[in-house]
Amino acid sequence: MSYTVIRNQSQNADFKSLKLSPCDWIMPRDGVWIYCIYFYDIKQWPFYGKKENNEFMNVDRLISSLTKLVEYYPFLTGICRIEEKDKTVSIVLNDDKGGIIIKSVSINIPLCDVPLSINEYTNTIDLDKSLELTSKNDVNALFHVHHTRFLCGGVALAIRLNHAIVDAHSYFQLVSDWTRIYQNLEYRPIVCHTRSLLELTEIDNVVDKHSRSSFNKQKTYVVEEDLSPQTKQSVQSIVKIFRFCADELERMKREATAHLSVEVDHVSTFDALAAHLYRHVAIARDSSHSYISKLCIPVNIRSRLKQPIIPSTYFGNAIVHSCLETESTNLIRINDLGFWASQVHQAVATLTSDEIKSTLAWIISQPDKSKIVLNFPFDNTGFYITAWNKMGMYANSNFEHSVHPCRITMPFEQLDNGGAYFFSTEKNDTSIDVILILDPRTMEKLENNSDFRKYG
């Protein structure tokens, strides 16, 4: 095994520290990671059989390109510092701690022996731990890479980035920029590090004082001591992957579109699939009593916030959560995909620029930022959906020319019960892999419900 630590070589004083934004302050601080494992088949490489296997996804070249990438993302090598006064977070460069950690191992099995096909593959928990596809993290380092070379020359690349400093949009932007530098060291990424864009101006703060009392009616975010004990409960869960093909999703969206609520003129594939999952999970939970069910969706605010405009290349957390609340009995009783897709659509659409500014103002006004948490019940009453399927997961992660991942997955040990992640697929079409996290009883009942896959 080889072990390398990359540190920032810049002597520029401007790159010594970076104060993070309100959207960063509300992220979990206890080691939550955005984490994917990319599998690459050497047989897709144009030079397969013509060059040595270790030239494919070459470790030294990965290190040199990552070192170059640091010039454009200098704070990846830093560590988090919590300010004593208000518990805001900054990234600081430190000569002794942090750095980007790259580990590389070789294993004595071919890639074809790893169960990656959709028919047999369920989750990373099923993979033999001795494969060493991931590694333990350094608590101070923000960015980890684990390179595994298989006997055949194929590669698994585990890329892990601390969620306290970036969201998924930034994660996949970083991976895309790294691949382009790997192919061409002269490539220059365009990156926005101006976290102060999410700090409200004095004018915004004055205006928002009049609206702050009406903010947070559904209490999307709360101060930690305000949480009910039930919200903090954890439930044993299992993880499974369900592939929804392009035709299946088109039929689902067509049915939803045919029965929209009068106040909605269109819904997206996301709206339809989210509504379908939300309702069928509620049916599978089969609760004997009525409860308020909450659907929670993180929303990218880069294109939503006005004055200031947030560029698409903004690097950091730029998400605010939208929530839909409904009586569980209604969710089960009303068998109308168009109605529920409309509800999902409206929940996201109501997150306007003014609503976002009000949320940011509330966060800034809290005296202790470390106590701000998402008000979500991690039990059997809530459901969360995180969509990564339109972030170029496969299309923008080809280190070697023409070699896109044959599979992308994630370690599932840290995932919370009652939610779903949407991944794009290696087919490079509109199909979606839904990674579903539920308690065993609910998962079994969901799979046994023939209506769950009735569009297939």
pLDDT single digits (tens) 397-413: 999 999 999 999 988 77
**Reduced to 3 states, what is the DSSP secondary structure of residue 107?**
coil
Q: Per the domain annotation, does 397 fall within a domain?
A: no
The more confident residue out of 201 and 390 is: 390
Same domain as 182, residue 129:
yes
Encode pLDDT of 422-431 as tens digits.
Answer: 999 999 899 9
Q: Per the domain annotation, does 401 fall within a domain?
A: no
Same domain as 125, residue 89:
yes
**Reduced to 3 states, what is the DSSP secondary structure of residue 88?**
coil
Question: Does residue 166 carry a pLDDT above 70?
Answer: yes
Alpha carbon distance 130, 204 (integer Å) = 54
Same domain as 256, residue 115:
no
What is the model's pLDDT at position 274? 98
**Reduced to 3 states, what is the DSSP secondary structure of residue 302?**
coil
Taking the alpha carbons at both ends of the chain, their separation in whole angstroms is 45
What is the model's pLDDT at position 218? 47
Q: Which residue, 170, 195, 220, sits at the end of a domain?
A: 195
Same domain as 285, residue 221:
yes
Nearest to 66 by CA among 402, 404, 410, 399: 399
What is the model's pLDDT at position 205? 55
What is the model's pLDDT at position 101? 94
Encode pLDDT of 116-130 as tens digits.
Answer: 765 544 455 566 666
What is the band of 97 on the pLDDT scale with cuts at 50, 70, 90?
A: confident
What is the model's pLDDT at position 37? 94
Query: Looking at residue 446, which CATH number applies to its domain?
Result: 3.30.559.10
> Quick count: other Cβ atoms within 10 Å of Cβ 215?
17
Give me the mean pLDDT over the 237-263 stretch.
94
What is the model's pLDDT at position 230? 52
What is the model's pLDDT at position 84? 92
pTM, rounded to two decimals: 0.93
Mean pLDDT for the chain overall: 88
Same domain as 283, residue 180:
no
Same domain as 167, residue 222:
no
What is the model's pLDDT at position 234? 62
Q: Which residue, 171, 195, 219, sits at the end of a domain?
A: 195
Same domain as 438, residue 368:
yes
Same domain as 217, residue 190:
no
Are the C-beta atoms of 127 and 156 separated by less than 8 Å?
Answer: no
Same domain as 231, residue 368:
yes
Question: Does residue 318 carry a pLDDT above 70?
Answer: yes
Same domain as 147, residue 10:
yes
Q: Per the domain annotation, does 445 fall within a domain?
A: yes
The more confident residue out of 79 and 115 is: 79
Q: How many domains are contained in the chain? A: 2
Q: Per the domain annotation, does 264 fall within a domain?
A: yes
What is the band of 308 on the pLDDT scale with cuts at 50, 70, 90?
A: confident
Alpha carbon distance 142, 100 (integer Å) = 7
Residues above pLDDT 70, as percent of the chain: 88
What is the band of 307 on the pLDDT scale with cuts at 50, 70, 90?
A: confident
Encode pLDDT of 186-235 as tens digits.
Answer: 999 999 999 999 987 654 554 445 444 445 444 689 898 766 655 555 66
Same domain as 225, residue 120:
no
Q: Which two tokens stand for residue 179?
A: 């691949």
Q: Which residue, 137, 164, 195, sits at the end of a domain?
A: 195
Q: Per the domain annotation, does 396 fall within a domain?
A: no
What is the model's pLDDT at position 247? 96
Encode pLDDT of 15-50 as tens digits.
Answer: 688 999 999 999 988 778 999 999 999 999 999 988
Alpha carbon distance 127, 150 (integer Å) = 14
What is the model's pLDDT at position 200? 79
Q: Burial code of 122-152, b = ≥16 C-beta within 10 A, e = fewer?
A: ebbeebeeebbbbbebeeebbbbbbbbbbeb
Same domain as 248, residue 121:
no
Q: Per the domain annotation, does 400 fall within a domain?
A: no
One-letter amino acid for residue 167 of the chain: D
Q: Per the domain annotation, does 202 fall within a domain?
A: no
Give me the mean pLDDT over the 319-336 stretch.
94
Range of the domain at 99: 2-195
Give me the mean pLDDT over the 137-164 stretch.
92
Alpha carbon distance 45, 50 (integer Å) = 10
Are the C-beta atoms of 331 and 270 separated by less than 8 Å?
Answer: no
What is the band of 372 on the pLDDT scale with cuts at 50, 70, 90?
A: very high
What is the model's pLDDT at position 90? 93
